[in-house]
Amino acid sequence: MAIHKLKFFACRESRYLAEKIAKSYGTELGDSSVLEFSDGEFQPAYNESIRGCTVFIVASTFPPTDNLMELLLMIDAAHRASAHRVIAVMPYFGWARQDRKDRPRVSIGAKLVANLLRAAGVDRIMTMDLHADQIQGFFDIPVDHLYASGIFVPYINGLNMEDLSIAAPDMGGAKRAHAYSQYLHAPMIISHKQREKANVVGSMTAIGDVEGRNIIILDDMIDTAGTITKAADMLMEKGAKSVRAAATHAVLSGPAYERINNSSLSEVIVTDTIPLRKDKDTSKFTVLSVADIFADVIERVHNYKEISSRFIF
């Protein structure tokens, strides 16, 4: 058993989720505040002693810039306040799409973020459904990579759909879709797309049996929703009974909400790693909470228990 007291804190934009994680764990968030300067600079502070404590800081980095900087400052402040260990709980890991040098003269943003977190003094990272699994290797500290399958699979089973098929929105998502299709004993469909440029999809076609199937498109995130909605419309044109989408991170930038509401998608299943915007029509969305998963794994990590049994796949 751990001998160091555990305390939860949150960056401002992730407080909604941190409160649910703390409640699921059986405690409350610690007291922290942020001093804001008129030029946009800010300074987080802990308003209670954390000396000798294991500190869990909950912060999804969306939109990435300010939230990442706030997390870095809170990590630094915790170490300067003599915390025993500082663990960053990042349900959504920003910059994860920049995991390699895929064209000349570009940065590898995910590696830079890993270096920044380590330089700030983080001792462990806890995140969910990374865009690229190899990002774990960018860290020289433990990384707990959790999966939303633990809540998606029970929900999908609860729909009791006949003629279920699992679809990947592109070739890059084939591995994830294959894992779900194997576990759910459902055929797999792959959508093959060609991009005109970043966030703009050109042509798209489907590989697999579509006609008469109830299809769920699986992905790690929905950003502008161009790929998901184009795939859904294409699958319906090819004779699908219905098309749903399930994605862990609801980034939903630009025209995403409008595209989803105007598409053939009957339902979009997401988690609360990123909150939905309150000023948008969210009638097609179903939000599942990841709070219980994170609370359980946090308890296991804090008390030095194994966590592999927590994963469906």
Cα 171 to chain centroid, rounded: 20
Of the residues 7, 111, 193, 230, only one is catalytic, namely 193
> 10 Å Cβ neighbour count for 168?
25
Q: Is the dihedral of CA 151, 162, 252, 107 positive or negative?
A: positive
Q: Name the DSSP class of 29.
A: B
Q: Name the DSSP class of 68.
A: H
* Burial (0-12, 13-18, 19+ Cβ within 10 Å), 289: middle
Q: Is 193 a catalytic residue?
A: yes
Task: Mention every residue, 6+ apart, whose C-beta is less than 8 A from residue 97.
Answer: 109, 110, 131, 132
Q: Phi and psi of 6, rounded to 5°?
A: -100, 140
Supply the residues annotated as catalytic: 193
